[in-house]
């Protein structure tokens, strides 16, 4: 089951500069900064009610965020949806014709299991599915 928008992922060229900008804009400080080695990124999270904003900076110009920034520059990279059972949702969505980037979930930032849907089948929007690894 898809529960809510979990976060908006924004690709940035400088996490330090963007943390300041978004702290000023949102009126809150980021609650977490975390590296995700498998994605070659450092992330920063801002909490807004039940939703979050995730800033993503490429590490050493590698990975999908580096490619995104090279092609498009800074901006919204993905929309993340909170799900109750990520494996079920991946099977359900694939059965409906959505193309998966990840057939199996993998560890992501902020204690989540994640998987992405290809934007070719989601009107050009990169969709991330997220499930808490340790639900409360």
Instruction: Return the H-helix or E-strand segment holding 79.
Output: strand 75-83
Per residue in 35-72, pLDDT tens?
999 899 999 999 999 999 999 999 988 899 999 999 99
Q: What is the pTM of this model?
A: 0.93
HSE of 16, CA atoms in CB hemisphere, 13 A: 0
For the segment 81-99, the average pLDDT, to the nearest whole number, is: 97
> Which is nearest to 89 in space by CA: 38, 51, 128?
128
**Position 136 pLDDT exceeds 90:** no
> Which is nearest to 74 in space by CA: 31, 114, 22, 127?
22
State the pLDDT confidence band at 21, using cuts at 50, 70 and 90: very high
Report phi then psi at 36, rounded to 5: -125, 95
For the segment 9-38, the average pLDDT, to the nearest whole number, is: 97
What CATH number should be reported for the domain holding residue 16? 3.10.180.10
> For a pLDDT cut of 90, what percent of the chain falls above it?
93
Residue 8 pLDDT: 98
> What's the rounded Cα separation, in Å, for the pair 57 and 99?
26
For the segment 102-117, the average pLDDT, to the nearest whole number, is: 95
SS percent in the chain: helix, strand, coil, step 5: 30, 40, 30
Task: Determine the structural domain holding residue 113 and report its residue range.
Answer: 2-132
Residue 135 pLDDT: 72
Counted domains in the chain: 1
For the record, the structure tokens of 1 come out as 């089951």
């Amino acid at each position: 089951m898809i529960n809510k928008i979990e976060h908006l992922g924004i690709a940035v060229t400088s996490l330090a500069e963007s943390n300041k900008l978004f702290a000023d804009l949102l009126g809150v400080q980021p609650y977490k900064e975390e590296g995700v080695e498998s994605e070659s990124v450092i992330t920063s999270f801002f909490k807004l009610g039940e939703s979050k904003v995730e800033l993503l900076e490429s590490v050493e110009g590698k990975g999908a965020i580096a490619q995104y920034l090279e092609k498009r520059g800074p901006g919204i990279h993905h929309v993340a949806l909170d799900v109750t059972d990520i494996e079920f949702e991946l099977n359900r969505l694939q059965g409906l014709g959505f193309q998966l980037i990840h057939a199996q979930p993998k560890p992501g930032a902020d204690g989540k299991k994640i998987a992405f849907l290809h934007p070719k089948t989601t009107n050009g929007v990169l969709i991330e599915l997220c499930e808490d690894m340790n639900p409360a």
